[in-house]
Every structure is written in C-alpha cells, then in structure tokens.
Structure 1
Amino acid sequence: MKRYLQFFVILGIFIVFSCQEKDKTEVAINAIPVNLEVVRFDDEFANAKPEAIPILKNSFPYLFPEQVPDSVWIMKLTDTLQLELKAEIDKAFPNFKTQEKELITLFKHIKYYVPNYEVPKVVTLVSEVQYDARVVLTDSLLLIGLDNYLGPEHKFYAGMSNYIAKALNKDYMMADVAGAFAKTINKFPRNRTFLSRMVYYGKELWIKDKLLPKATDAEKIGFTPEEMAWAKANEEQMWRYFIEQELLYSTASELDRRFLDPAPFSKFRLELDNETPGRLGRYMGWQIVRAYAKNNPEVSLMELLDMPSDELFKKSNYKPKK
C-alpha cells in the first residue's frame, strides 16, 4: 500500500509540475507583441466602382494577373456568382474580429518558437471556392479565401465529395494557417520510405500541437470528431497491420495514395475500409512524433524537425495503446 501511495504522490507532483511549466509557457507567449494588419479585399472589391479598378490593381498587384484586362474585372463587379459568393461570406463573417484574435494568438505562438518570424499582412478575398488553395502563405502575405469556410453543408459545396466539404468550415481555418506555416519550416524528406513520409506529416501535425494548444485533434488533422474517435480506437490494429505487411520501409508510391493523400477513406484492402477516414498514415506518424516529444521534452521544435525519421522513430519507443 505504501508503494502505491508513493507512486501516486510522485505522479501528482509530476502532473502539477507539468501544468506549471505549460502555464509559464503560455504566459510568455501571451506577452509577445504582435501587430496584425488585416485587409478585407473582399469588401474593397465588392464596394468598388469600375473606375477604381486601376487603383485596386496598384494596391493589390498580386491579385490581378497582368494578362487579364480591366474589362474582366469590371464585369466581375456585377457578376451574379461573385455577388452571391460575397453575400454568403457576409452572412458567415459579419466581421472578422474573432478570426483576427485567433490569428494574433497563432502568430504569438509562432514567434515564441521562431522568434525572427515576420508576421505577414492578412488579406481576405473571394476565391470562387478554390478549396485546394484556401490559404496561401508567402513571406509577407497570408491570403484567405473566405468562401472556402461557409460550412460543409453549404449549397456552394453541393456535389463535392464529403471528405473535401467537411473541412470547408471556419473551425478549421486556424489549422489551415498553421499547416501552411508548418510547410515553411518542415522539409519534405529525401528518404522515400513510407515511415519517413508518415513522420514528415506527423511533424507537421505536431507543429500544430505547439501552435494551436486549444484546438481539438480533429481540427488539427481535418477529421470529424467521429473519424478522430475511430482513429484512436483502432490505432493498435492499424499499427499491427503496417508491421505485418512490412510497410514501414517500403518505397512503393501507392502507399501515399492509400494512407497519406486526401481521400474519402484509407485503403487497407479490407472490409472495414469504408469505415475509415483518409490519411490515417498521417495520424500514425503524428502519434510517433508525439511519443518522441513526450520522451524527449528537452529537444526544441527545430531540433525535432531536423531529426531523421529513422532516428526519431527508434528513440520514440512508440507503442500504440491496445
């Protein structure tokens, strides 16, 4: 009985210490100053007169391809689809204050881990539902197509595959921005093994863990809550499948399509496939990276990102829960 009591006392001290460390980190992050400039280009274009097009082109040259004549933009001002898209954006985003606060918090976290990072200017726009480029991040600009965040059941997304439409929700916007940033510091591996690519995506999701501590796991990876529950419940069986099929060190490109690329479901080639969410290989890579980070808390974010996948995997001591 004494031994058990000592164990729980030590465990309690460890939990309290961990919480205190997290609190200190968040206090330090909140103290970081961030000046965020948000420009509602969707508003400026919607309210423009034809004679203002040259002024807009001068202010936003990156949004007006040189080969497109002014007459096209003038027609867009009264285009039915453009007007309807803007009307629906205004319903979903009567203002951008909530998202602006979330972006400031996100950039505070980024600057904590990457102190020299220059916060980009944020420009919101109507992208005509270019869902595969709903967030574009450059050195100085963050472009957000607001018409890609109207909710999965929106009429504009009718006919889309569910695995695409489910992420077209404002709840996933910050995860998209964090993911765009993660790609700027997380190098795609030269090693072509399935393990290396799983760990690459796992690192990207772990960056989201650091930058979005209040986001749900489902929001970070783009799953529904039900899909996340399925992944957690079947983690051990998935891992056993990867081991038994000797997939970890395979360089077969088909594994990307089966387990890493966006898709309606993952392809184990079993009856249960239709129950699965896509991209489960990313989920498994995430758990490997999390295991490593938990066992090596002294390793910095950048040190972890630089670590080869094989080394990280071996030192993670990853063992999925049964």
Structure 2
Amino acid sequence: MKLKMLKKGTTKTVRDNTAALLLLFVGFFSGFAQETEENKEPQSGSTSVKLSQEVMNPTTLAWQLQLEEFAIFKTEGQDGFAQNFRVRGIIPVKEGFLIKVPQLIRVIAFFNTAPDGRTGLGDVTLNQFFILSKKDWGQFGAGWNIQIPTRTDDQLGSPQWSLGPAFTVTFTNLGKWQMYWIWENFFSISENDKYGSSAYAVLQPNVFYTWSNGVYAGIEPEWQIDYKTGKVAIPMDFRVGYIWSGKLKYNAYIEPEVMAYRSDGYPRNSANFGVRLGFRWYLPM
C-alpha cells in the first residue's frame, strides 16, 4: 500500500499542530499531577495496580467524562492535517427498570476536521451495555449501538442512521495484565435507497500492563470489517498512560497509531498515521 507524502507547507503545519497538542497534553498532565501530590493517600503497590485496572476496565460502574484528540498527519489519497475530537460521557446504572442487571450508557460525540480544512460536527453514537455475567476471571456484557447522522458535512460523518448489537468480554484475573474485547456492529436503517445499505463491525482488542506507580502501556486499536465486501482496515497503536487518584480518579495518555493494513477501496478509515491524546475523569458510584 503506497502512502502519499505530505507537502512541505503541510509538514510545517503538522509540526506546529503537533507541538501545540503536546503542550496542551503536558499542561493537563502537570496540573492534575500537582493536585494528586497534594491529595493522594499512601497506598501499597498492589492497591495502585488494582486502581489502574478498575479505571481501565470498560465494565466498571463509574460516571466518566472522556476527552480525546486524534491528530491525523497522513491520510490516504489526501494532503492536509485532519483531526477527530471525541467527547464521551458514561452513565452507570446499578439496576435497570426492565432488565435487572448493571448497565453502562455511553454518549459519544465528535468534532472533526477533514484534510481539506472542512470542520464541523461528526456523528453521535449511543450505546448501552448490560453486564450479564461477573465471574472471578472477569465480566461479560452485551447491548446495542445506534449511530445518529448529526454530521454537518458529508466528509465528517455518515448520512445514514445505523443500529446493531454489541458485546464485551473482560479478563481481569491476569495479575498486572488486563485484556478485554469489544465487538460492535452497525447496520444502516435509513436512506438505503439513496446511498445503498451498509453493514460493518468494529472489533477492539485491548491488552494492557500496569505498574505499581500508576503507569500503564498497551494497545487499543479499532479494527473494522465490511460485512458486504469483506474489506478490512487494521490499524495498530501503542498507548502509554498514567492513572492517579485525587479528588476524582484520572487517566491521561498518549497513543500513536499507524495503519498496518487496509484493503483497497475500504471507505471508512483513511487515516494512515496519527496521534491520540486523551484525558478521562472517573467518579465511582
């Protein structure tokens, strides 16, 4: 697969944007790290590992606000800097009205920029996971997704409503390791006569190692497969992060990502290289 090189002018813009993003990340990190030093309580190494794993576990019942900037420096077939800014809120429910099991409701919104500079809202996704089984080895959950076409430009999102089931399996009894899988499905349910029907899945394998000082490292790529054509996009990333506890629980990370393989003509993920900067707040129930 051939990747187009960025022009000199674009390279300078990318360099400036990268520096700005890194400064923003360091500012967030320094401020909250200082608060942590002022408020933290002594804890053993095992407690710190446990804290990190609880924060990273996607089935942990906790109120969360997650901000993530994905700066895209190389896009297949296009020149120019692009970005996806994601805001995700997570609402925990100890017991539902109809289904009497713990639940997590996620609301995800995007503010995107295309390589040609067009900027605006992306799509909004709602999903709900039911924690159906909790064992010594981990948890199993299932639920549903709905994608709402709220994009302000066709380059920034999909023109169709999509709906589908979702599943998650978490393995937590692995010492300082943690592994979980998320499988989400999206099937178009509107405008099929105009745009054609679509059916694809997002499979997210997550493997992390946590140290006793709150530092962790691992992978969290989002692999995609088109059910109709069999075409795939398989990015790979590497995340380094830090989790600490002050007034709330915090998680900050940096995550470079490169497209390891993409089928010719796959339409939904054209990012060849980018860097994610994320910050998350957690408030236990």
Say whether the fold is shared (TM-score over 0.5).
Answer: no
Q: For CA contacts below 8 A with separation 6 or more, give which structure has more relative contact order.
A: 2
Q: TM-score w.r.t. structure 1 length?
A: 0.24
Q: TM-score w.r.t. structure 2 length?
A: 0.26
Higher relative strand content: 2
